[in-house]
Amino acid sequence: MNQKASLQVGHDGVAVITLQNPPVNALHPAVLNALFNCLREAHARRDVKAIVVTGSNNRFSAGFDIAEFAKSSGGGGIDSRINDSFCSLLESGPKPTVAAVASMALGGGLETAMACNARICTPGTKLGLPELQLGILPGFGGTQRLPRLVGLQKAAQMMLTSAPVNDKKAAKLGLVDAVVPQGKLLEAARAWAAEIAAGTKPRNFSLYRTDKLEPLGEALPILEFAKAETQKRAPHLTHPLLCLDAIRVGVEQGGHAGLKQESAAFAQAASLDTHKALVHIFFAQRATKKVKGITDAGLKPRKMKKIAVLGGGLMGSGIATASALAGMDVIIKEVNDKFLQSGLGRVKSNLASSVKRGKMTKEAADAVAARVKGTLDYSDFGSVDMVVEAVLEDVGLKQRIFADLEKACRPDCILSSNTSTIDISVIGQKTRAADRIVGAHFFSPAHIMPLLEIVRTDKTSPQVVLDTLEYGSAIKKTPVVVGNCTGFAVNRVFFPYTQAACLLVDLGLDPYKIDKAILGGFGMPMGPFRLSDLVGADVGLHVGKNFLESFPERTYSAKLIVKLNEAKRLGEKTGSGFYQYDAKRKAKPDPALAPIVEASRKEAGLFKGGKPPAFSPQDIIEFIFFPVVNEGCRVIAEGIVDKPADLDVATVLAMGFPPYRGGLIKWADLVGVKHVAQRLNQWAQQFESAGLAGFFKPCKYLQDAADSGSQLSAGVRPGSKL
């Protein structure tokens, strides 16, 4: 059994209790039980005068075992009364306790450490309470002890942002009592514990401290302000407010009352869908790197040391920046010196903006920039491990480039394309290198957006997919392996998004109301029309044509986008689209849109004037997102994604689908698959005479799941015929 805690008593009379649950010493109930037993034993033994709690493998703990949350119906089956007695035994038992913290003390890990009478950590340790990012709140007394150790303002900030502090900051705040080198950690902690026992160092009880807490008259306004800010920033979330409430009760009525409130609030938060959704995303994000037939095939990933990027435009320079930031040598190839210099300039300005945001020093940025070289020919390509092509979306041009690359590069060099619209196998048609051709689809801006779609064709070798996964992780992207089809996974799944929104306008609804429902009502970073303006109506038209060609039976050919193109209102870049834009690119509704909407409605012939049909904000959300879910189900059924959860991660990271809704497919499961299918069928019937039944009709995967009561997240059952 790997999940345990062990007790060792030294000649100095100090008992060392070590948490053991690799890789991060997560506090599985078995570990907590073992810890509790060790603690009771240490307190009971006559040869023990003080206790040190530490973690194995030079790590303290990353907190409660999140996998237990995923198994239980909520809250990981934690009984808060046990936590109470565990933490109070740690804090106020007969013998003093010291936490010896290396590498990380997160969530329940930090709460365990805070219940000890002193904390010593090593350089580089991260300490934080990130529970809110899992849809819960600290449940081991963190809402009470952290404010008493570091002050209310800082504690609230740490909990609300989930951001940890490093060892230096922790020492400055008083969260740790000392920072010592790794090799001295246990020795220092033992000595500290022995000194407390001898009375030469004070024994501090975090829960009873008042010296750092702001007086009530200051504390309450701090909490009120934090509450108002939270409601503004995250209007859909309840658990941050529950957390603030537990803090407030502790401030007003004392630590014990606060602990009681904390456990009630924890239980409430743990029962909400937000918690299930966020835990799902936590694991789904880590699971994208595990791909059937690739990562379980016994292959060893090769490390990419030198990368060539073709094209120094926005995408190319972003890809070059991300690769150089990961320590790779990069060559950018352009067609002439002017383009090359601007590509290299873009890399520098990407790095300069990281310096400006405090993400890196000027020296570090210069060192990264020095790894990026420019070229106008292929003479250096013999030394590169991977090429990422990011030139114009022109099939002929890409085919010529790939034929050249086959000659210029080593036979084991990966040849990838960043295309978002062109079939990857067509790009490689003029080569005999089909097994090492792969899509590396970045999202703009490429050095910032966290998703990388890795597009494999039926000829791409597993080794090349594995190496590209390794490359994706090295450049700090979340890589998702997808199949080769129009729009790949993300763009394909989202093609009904703008189309459904345009259909609603043609039915008589106001575009700005639609955006409002999707933005504020649902929590997307922007509504479909604002997004369309960002992407550009010309790009929208081109992409729409692609989908119409590939999926004619289910594409709504939106006239609204055509009309915007005719009016040269292409979006942000032309200063107007669905919205008008000022010099700072701030969007404002535009009365000049009305005649365009009018013309589109006239052509669509679905709205006869008068009162628009009654659509509540929830109706709008469902009308727009249920066709997106339907396309997601087709993508799952066709095996375009390895597992449904990959689509959840991809929609969250590329489209800003709210993570607290679990990603597209998990959200549909939480809403109810039967409900999704029933509404789609209702609209398919309602719009059949307008030729739109195909846009709504549930695909077989979705309908089967609705009929059988299974979850869309379950994936395709072996042997099922889809």
- Give me the residues that bind ligand 3H9 (CB under 6 A), please: 23-24, 26, 62-67, 78, 83, 104, 106-108, 111, 130-131, 134, 138-140, 142, 286
CB of 469 to ligand 3H9, least distance (A): 14
CB nearer ligand 3H9, residue 71 or residue 585: 71
Closer Cβ to ligand 3H9, 104 or 706, answer by number: 104
Pick from 185, 211, 22, 40: which is nearest to 119 by CA? 185
Answer yes or no: are the C-beta atoms of 82 and 112 closer than 8 Å.
no
Residue 505, token pair as written in the block: 């306008």
DSSP 641: B
Q: Which residues pair with 233 in a beta bridge?
A: none
- What is the smallest separation between the CB atom of 161 and ligand 3H9, expressed in angstroms? 13
The dihedral of CA 533, 535, 541, 547: what is its sign?
negative
Helix (H, G, I), strand (E, B) or coil at 607: coil
Q: Active-site residue 111, yes or no?
A: yes
Q: How far is residue 626's CA from residue 561's CA, in Å, rounded to a whole number?
A: 21
Residue for token pair 């590396």: 440
Q: How far apart, in whole angstroms, are the C-alpha atoms of residue 158 and residue 118?
A: 20
Strand (E) or helix (H) holding 640: none
Quote the crossing angle between the two packed helices 537-550 and 495-506, to the nearest 10°: 100
Amino acid at the residue 270: A
Q: Chain centroid to CA 18: how far?
A: 32
CA distances from 186 to 7, 94, 107, 180, 524 (A): 14, 21, 22, 10, 48
Q: What is d(CA 597, CA 529) in angstroms, rounded to the nearest whole number?
A: 12
Extract the tokens encoding 688: 């059949």
> Are 415 and 391 within 8 A, CB to CB?
no
Q: How far is the CB of 326 from ligand 3H9 (least distance, A)?
A: 15
Is 406 considered catalytic here? Answer: no
Residue among 68, 131, 622, 631 flagged as catalytic: 131
Element (H, E) at 75: none
Shortest reach from residue 78's CB to ligand 3H9, in Å: 4
Name residues whose C-beta falls within 8 Å of residue 365's C-beta, 6 or more positions apart in sequence: 351, 352, 354, 355
Sign of the CA dihedral running 133, 135, 141, 144:
positive
Give the DSSP letter of residue 274: H
The CB-of-475 to ligand 3H9 minimum distance in angstroms stands at 15
- For the bound state, the minimum distance from the C-beta of residue 83 to ligand 3H9, rounded and expressed in Å, comes to 6
Is residue 143 within 8 A of residue 262, CB to CB? The reply is yes
**Smallest separation (angstroms) from ligand 3H9 to the CB of 259:** 11
Instruction: Provide, rounded to whole angstroms, the least separation between the CB of residue 107 and ligand 3H9.
Output: 2
Q: Which residue is nearest to ligand 3H9 (CB)?
A: 107
Question: Do residues 475 and 323 make contact, with C-beta atoms less than 8 angstroms apart?
Answer: yes
Phi, psi of 306 (to 5 degrees): -130, 130
Closer of 24 and 558 to ligand 3H9 (Cβ): 24
Is residue 157 a contact partner of residue 224, using CB atoms and an 8 Å limit? no
Question: Which of residues 281 and 680 has its CB atom nearest to ligand 3H9 in the complex?
Answer: 281
In contact, 205 and 91? CB cutoff 8 Å = yes
Q: What is the largest CA-CA distance in the chain?
A: 90
Is the Cβ of residue 150 or residue 424 nearer to ligand 3H9 in the bound state? 150
**Helix H or strand E encompassing 373:** strand 372-375
Q: Within the chain, how many helices (H) and strands (E) appear?
A: 31, 19
| Residue among 41, 68, 91, 111 flagged as catalytic | 111
Q: Looking at beta carbons only, is 188 or 270 nearer to ligand 3H9?
A: 270
Shorter beta-carbon distance to ligand 3H9: residue 62 or 332: 62
Indicate the residue among 81 and 407 with the shorter CB distance to ligand 3H9: 81
**Sequence-separated (6 or more) residues with CB below 8 Å from residue 252:** 216, 220
As a dihedral over the C-alpha atoms of residue 154, residue 159, residue 160, residue 164, rounded to 10 degrees, the angle is 80
The nearer residue to ligand 3H9, 233 or 286, going by C-beta atoms, is 286
| CA dist., res. 128 & res. 386, Å (int) | 38
Query: With b meaning 16 or more CB within 10 Å and e meaning fewer, what string describes 525-541?
Result: ebbbbbbbbbbbbbbbe
CB closer to ligand 3H9 out of 26 and 391: 26
31 versus 493: smaller Cβ distance to ligand 3H9: 31
Minimum gap (Å) between residue 324 Cβ and ligand 3H9: 21
Give the residue with the Cβ less far from ligand 3H9, 63 or 479. 63
Min. distance of Cβ 216 from ligand 3H9 in angstroms? 26
Least distance in angstroms from the C-beta of 23 to ligand 3H9: 5
In the bound complex, what is the minimum distance in angstroms from residue 280's beta carbon to ligand 3H9?
A: 12
Cα 494 to Cα 10: distance, rounded to the nearest angstrom: 62
Contacts of 198 (CB under 8 A, 6+ apart): none
- Residue 383 CA, chain-centre distance (Å), reads 34
HSE of 33, CA atoms in CB hemisphere, 13 A: 6
Smallest distance from ligand 3H9 to CB 273, Å? 17
Residue 65 or 533 having the CB closest to ligand 3H9 = 65
AA letter at 311: G
Cβ proximity of 7 and 17 under 8 Å: yes
- Active site (catalytic) residues: 111, 131
